[in-house]
Structure 1
Amino acid sequence: MSHFQLLPAGWKKAVMVGLLTVCGTFGAFAQKTGGTGSTGSTGGTTTPTIPTRPSTTTGTTNPTTSTTPSIMDYQRPIYLSGRVMLDDGTAPPEPVVMLLVCNGQPRPQGYSDMKGRFSISLGQNQSMFTDASIGNPNDAFGTGTSQKSSSPGGVRNGMSERELMGCEFKADLPGFRSDVVQLSGRRILDSPELGTLVLHRLANVQGFVFSATTGMAPKDAKKAYEKGMDLAKKKKYSEAEAQLQKAVEVYPKYAAAWFELGNSLMAQKKNEDAQKAYEESVKSDGKFLKPHIQLMQLALSSRDWQLISDRSDTVLKLDPYSYSQAWFINAAAKYNLKKMDEAEKSAREAVKLDPDHHNPRSAQLLGTILADKGDYPGALEQMKGYLSFAPNAPDVESVRKQVAELERVAGVKATAQGAPATPAQNK
């Protein structure tokens, strides 16, 4: 017997409508963006804020106090350069996103090159093609399927020294932990050279966001692949498809080319052909994460919860640390399959790996699971958390009603067990 029988009949349905909506959003990542970019008022993500310049005066103005901005407040280009390498001493096989993180908010600033070198001008609002990105916040799963985005929160004319307070600079590659450079106290005239940032492989991560087969591709296959990538950047997907098809014909084990072929097919809405290309990519390199993620996203549109569960299980086995969205999808699948303990575990991981609450619905899903298991105080805590994380979500009023019902039911349960009800529960 479901504990939801203690709640109004429409309560569970209202919750699941919201969850299905957000699952649909994740399933459309091949065409849309997510992560730390803005998705409007859905409550799915938050937009990084631009640090505001502190006022030079507070309270009543003293006529003898100068209001001239400090030199720390002037915005100028701040240049950073250096090198990224893996902990085995080699350069990453693909360009890596370079992140400026201020007060916990990540802002992509550019990429390393194919040799691992980077030269960045902070806050220049650079446009970045995510086909070269790994872990780009505008591509929540790091698959490189979004075509172009601007750095969120970028400051057009540069940054000030004061804005660098509380900021750090690092590389971003799923499955790896980057060395971090603290920028607090940095001056505009300081040397831009940061040295080498090492990417340390995380324990228990089996998957990679780059394919080991790329280095074995013959010259002709690489040439066709690069032509296909250039055409995809220009959104000439049909021509890109032809070049990428040529690359995999020359080298059938070219996992990265199969993956990019799938992306070009997806852009042309050839979903069945895209799925076959992603499956070929997986066959060529089973530890290459990107095609697994795309196959999981394609499964979402089917509403086949067992398939979604299996696909997300594979992603999380390869990398259990980098993708809170995959844990969320896995939790929703397990919940619909009535595997409540597994659903709760996955939902808790989704919440844990999303400390900045870019996907507040993880808390809502966890609350739903806990309510179904009869843990009304726990469910109430998560639902209240959702309201605080997504105060402008379109379903905020219905969730408030759900919170009220949970308070009532928690009170009924507490009274039945002989425990004193709280004032809120007595209402």
Structure 2
Amino acid sequence: MRSRWLLEKLAVLAACGVLGLVLAQTEGGGSQGGAGGTPPAGPGPGAPGTTTPVPTPTPAPPTTPQPGRQTTPFPTEPQQPFPEIQRPIFLQGRVVFEDGTPAPPNVVIERVCHGQPIPEAYTDSKGRFSFQVGQNRNVIPDASISSSVERFPGSTTPRDPFGFPTGPGGGISERDLMGCELRASLPGYRSSTVELTGRRMFDNPDVGTIVLYRLANVQGLTISFTSLKAPDKAKKAYQDGLKQFSNKKLANAQKQLEKAVTLYPEYAEAWHALGQVYEAQNQPDRAREAYEKAIACDPKFMRPYLQLALMDARAGNWEKVRETTDYVLKMNPYDFPDAYFFNSVAHLNLRNPVEAEKAAREAIKLKAERRYPQVEHVLGLALALQNNFAEAKLHLERYLQLAPNAGNIEIVKKQLEQIESLLNGRPLTPTNP
């Protein structure tokens, strides 16, 4: 059918555009370089050609009400824009399991802004926490967390590379909290959230109780428990390496991370970070080897698998991308929206629009479009290839709204023209080969 041929042709072009934008975005997190063809070490996906069903995550827990907050404005009070004034904002609360038991110590409290997690504090022995927003420098971010510029779009607050304010008084503006929420992070559990948008300095600092809900059948983790056994010197070298990496001092970062894995060869998270440093220095073979060593040290640590999937995507090895992301999602269908997105792009390139649609919808459920608005584009293409033109149009328009300056805008506009022609019964305009 002529219409399907045109849409498939545009889908191939769009998939290339989607991939290019994905690679451009990941460079901000230090993931650059080429790719190889070696499969991940340790337990991995099934044999080529075997399709693993994409799990469906349970609905997200409810947002925790905030004591002392006015949730709606007075009818006669005009809404004013948030002033860009740096002031100290303090938050406190507690974390419990769904049966009311206090959370253990050292559960990370994260502020998530525009989809990006920013570690702020740890719980104490009774599950309590308190901190000044943006000031807890003792909580070291993971190497995969993006730069402060990416995490605070539109903010004029001066910051160091980790996103901590550096201006007088170390305050944070209320504008910095727009699009942010607070949650607890513990492997194998999903957290309720507290909305921070609109929070002001004089609000009650007590955000109430954050609840952790046990996830069933979760084996893949966002962290590696091998880190708990690392000696102090190895931990210090690892943390120093992350700081150097965040400061774009790649040679120093490499030196510190190599020291960490020398002192403790089973340090999976250090191997993972070292792989990212190698990629940033355009050393793909060494990066792949580091990721494979991270997996060998801890096969349940999922982040190295995603880095390998991204390297395979750069090489155009879509079957391998599908296998690897299928495995990640089988191990943990809740905490890796990136895996759903990469999986959807792989299926689109493999001409599996039904599976591409499923993966893209799951990515959107986990709010992947905050970081990867291209997932709306992928979903639109997958629907168009199934002749669901009306909904496809909505998702392509949504993508244009989320990414008005994307590099593939002209391609998307052409696709919209073709879809609108089909919806309105107009003759299709052939595209040049």
TM superposition shift of 1:92: 4.0
2:361 partner letter? R
What is the DSSP-based 3-state SS (H/G/I as helix, E as strand, rest coil) of the residue aligned with 1:213? helix
Could you tell which deviates more after superposition, 259-268 or 323-332? Answer: 259-268
Which deviates more, 316-325 or 108-117?
A: 108-117
Of 275-284 and 401-410, deviating more is 401-410
For residue 91 of structure 1, what is the aligned residue in structure 2?
105
TM-score, normalised to structure 2's length?
0.66
User: Higher Cα Rg: structure 1 or 2?
Assistant: 1
One of 304, 319, 327 as aligned partner of 1:306? 319
Amino acid corresponding to residue 141 of structure 2 in structure 1: A
Are residues 85 and 395 of structure 1, via their aligned partners in 2, closer, same or farther at CA, if it must alter by over 3 Å?
same
What is the CA-CA distance between 1:198 and the residue it aligns to?
Answer: 5.0
Q: Partners of 2:28 and 2:176 in 1: how far apart?
A: 32
Correspondence for 1:40: none
5+ residue gaps, structure 1, are: 34-52, 60-68, 416-427
Question: CA distance change for structure 1 residues 4 and 260 in 2, over 3 Å: closer, same or farther?
Answer: same
1:176 paired residue number? 189
Kindly tell me: are residues 381 and 91 of structure 1, through their superposed partners in 2, closer, same or farther at Cα, counting changes over 3 Å?
same
The 1:386–1:371 alpha-carbon spacing in structure 2 relative to 1, beyond 3 Å, is: same
| Identity across the alignment (%) | 35
User: Is 2:352 aligned against 1:343?
Assistant: no
SS in 1 for 2:310: helix
Classify the secondary structure of the residue corresponding to 1:317: helix
The secondary structure found in structure 2 opposite 1:28 is: helix
Residue 112 of structure 1 aligns to a residue in which SS?
Answer: strand
Match of 1:420 in 2: none
The CA deviation at 1:348 is: 2.0
Contact 1:253 1:284 in 2 (8 A): yes
CA distance, structure 2, for counterparts of residue 250 and residue 355 of structure 1: 37
> What is the rounded CA distance, in whole Å, between the counterparts of 2:305 and 2:104 in structure 1?
25
Alpha-carbon separation, structure 2, partners of 1:277 and 1:303: 21
In structure 2, runs of 5+ residues without a counterpart are 33-72, 152-159, 428-433
Higher relative contact order (CA 8 A, sep 6+): 2
Cα displacement (A) at 1:208? 1.4
Scaled by the length of structure 1, the TM-score of the pair is 0.67
TM superposition shift of 1:279: 0.6
- Contact between 1:232 and 1:264, CA under 8 Å: does it hold in 2? no
**Contact 1:228 1:239 (8 Å CA) reproduced:** no
Q: Does 1:372 align with 2:385?
A: yes
Contact 1:110 1:128 in 2 (8 A): no
1:26-425 maps to which residues of 2 (within 5 A)?
A: 26-28=25-27, 30-31=29-30, 76-81=87-92, 89-92=103-106, 96-99=108-111, 110-113=119-122, 119-122=130-133, 132-133=141-142, 136=145, 148-150=161-163, 157-158=171-172, 169-172=182-185, 176-181=189-194, 192=205, 197=210, 199-217=212-230, 219=231, 222-235=232-245, 236-354=249-367, 357-412=370-425
Assess if the C-alpha contact under 8 Å between 2:390 and 2:423 holds in 1. Answer: yes
- Could you tell me which amino acid in structure 1 is paired with residue 120 of structure 2? Y
- Matches of 2:237 and 2:403 in 1, distance apart? 43
- Cα distance, 1:361 vs structure 2: 1.8
Q: Corresponding residue for 2:46?
A: none
Deviation for aligned residue 1:333: 0.7
Q: Say which is worse superposed, 80-89 or 345-354, in terms of deviation.
A: 80-89
State how far apart, in whole Å, the 2-side matches of 1:299 and 1:168 are. 33
Measure how far apart 1:305 and its partner are.
0.8
Q: Deviations over 1:308-363 (max 9, x none)?
A: 11222222223222333321211111121223322221122223322865433212
Q: Which string of whole-angstrom CA distances, capped at 9 and with x for unpartnered residues, describes residues 62-82 of structure 1?
A: xxxxxxx9xx99974222245
CA distance in 1, matches of 2:116, 2:326: 29
* Cα separation, 1, equivalents of 2:264 and 2:123: 21
Alpha-carbon distance, 1:288 to partner: 0.8
Is 2:353–2:386's contact at 8 Å kept on the other side of the alignment?
Answer: yes
Secondary structure of 1:234's aligned partner: helix
Structure 1 residues 248 and 402: alpha-carbon distance in aligned structure 2, compared to 1, 3 A threshold: closer
Residues 30 and 266, structure 1, Cα contact 8 Å, conserved in 2: no
